[in-house]
Copies of this chain bind each other. A is one copy, B any other.
Amino acid sequence: MKVALIGVGLIGGSFARAALSAGAVSSVVGFDADPVALSAALRLGAITSAADSSAAAVRQADLVMLAVPVGAMAAVMKAIAPHLRADAVVTDVGSTNGSVVAVARAELGAHFARFVPGHPIAGRERPGVESSEPRLFEGKLFIATPVAETDPAATARVEKLWQRVGARVERMDAQEHDRVFAAVSHLPHLLAFALVAQIAREEDADRKLGKAGAGFRDFTRIAASSPRMWRDVCIANRDALKVELRGYRALLDELQAALDAGDGDALEAVFRAAAECRRMHAPRLDAE
């Protein structure tokens, strides 16, 4: 199978290295708007050749993997659509699926039936192909969100490839996917960014951060993630994220009122519900 990889970052690079080393694909032609990233991908063996445009990259491809920020998806789809082979399967690795489906429907024309929206639940806070890791997806979840029009053979082909790089494959409805990940991924990223940004704005930021321990380290690990990527994710999934953020702010209003009133019981009730839930889910989460 000949693969075209558009966007040679952490996820795309890790996928391509894994697929090549598993023998699941025969070649990976890469393209990236950043020539430095493209050279690095070639040097690291994430791609077998570099193309000088996305159109050139996809011409021979059996499968096109779009691993660009969600905000760049429309432009990339528009650029490649006229150059796709008639039987080419197109898939992506974005964190939001509803918006990607809408963009693909608008931009891919007849190829939309062979577009398989995908989302591997794996990442690292350091972006870039230099941080890529062929074992990144081993034991991790890959979620496909095909729609009614999606060719089942295209979905099967994409799912099989993710299985070959070690992922567990599940299917979800795209809207439900976006609601779930607004709650368990997009909102936590926004909250972690906000906490570090709040501290960074203050004069004694270095002094405060110099005293932070392991709890802070873990809580804010995702605040080192790519600002560009997470901007795109939050905007693309803003309808679901707005609802989650509004609910969270209402809960913080409750906690502020409890603090102002010195109401320890109210605080403890919320903390206890959280601790019980988090402990119950600890075995599965710790396996991630």
Binding site for B on A (CB under 8 A): 71, 121-123, 140-141, 143, 180-181, 183-185, 187-202, 204-205, 207-228, 230-232, 234-235, 238, 241-242, 244-249, 251-253, 255-256, 259-260, 262, 264, 267-268, 270-279, 281-282, 284-286, 288
B224 near A275 with CB under 8 A, answer: yes
Copies in the complex: 2
A262 near B235 with CB under 8 A, answer: yes
Q: 14 extra interchain contacts, Cβ-Cβ under 8 A, other than A123-B213, A245-B255?
A: A183-B208, A184-B212, A184-B216, A194-B270, A195-B248, A197-B270, A200-B276, A214-B288, A215-B225, A219-B222, A221-B278, A225-B275, A235-B259, A245-B256
Contacts of A234 in B (CB 8 A): 259, 264, 267
B197 near A274 with CB under 8 A, answer: yes
A194 near B268 with CB under 8 A, answer: no
B271 near A259 with CB under 8 A, answer: no
A188 near B215 with CB under 8 A, answer: yes
Separation of A185 and B208 alpha carbons in the complex (Å): 10
Separation of A197 and B266 alpha carbons in the complex (Å): 12
| Chain B minimum-CB-distance residue to A220 | B278
B196 near A251 with CB under 8 A, answer: no
Contacts of A248 in B (CB 8 A): 194-195, 198, 252
Q: Closest CB of chain B to A54's CB: distance in Å?
A: 22
Separation of A71 and B268 alpha carbons in the complex (Å): 12
Q: Closest CB of chain B to A204's CB: distance in Å?
A: 8
| Chain B minimum-CB-distance residue to A209 | B281
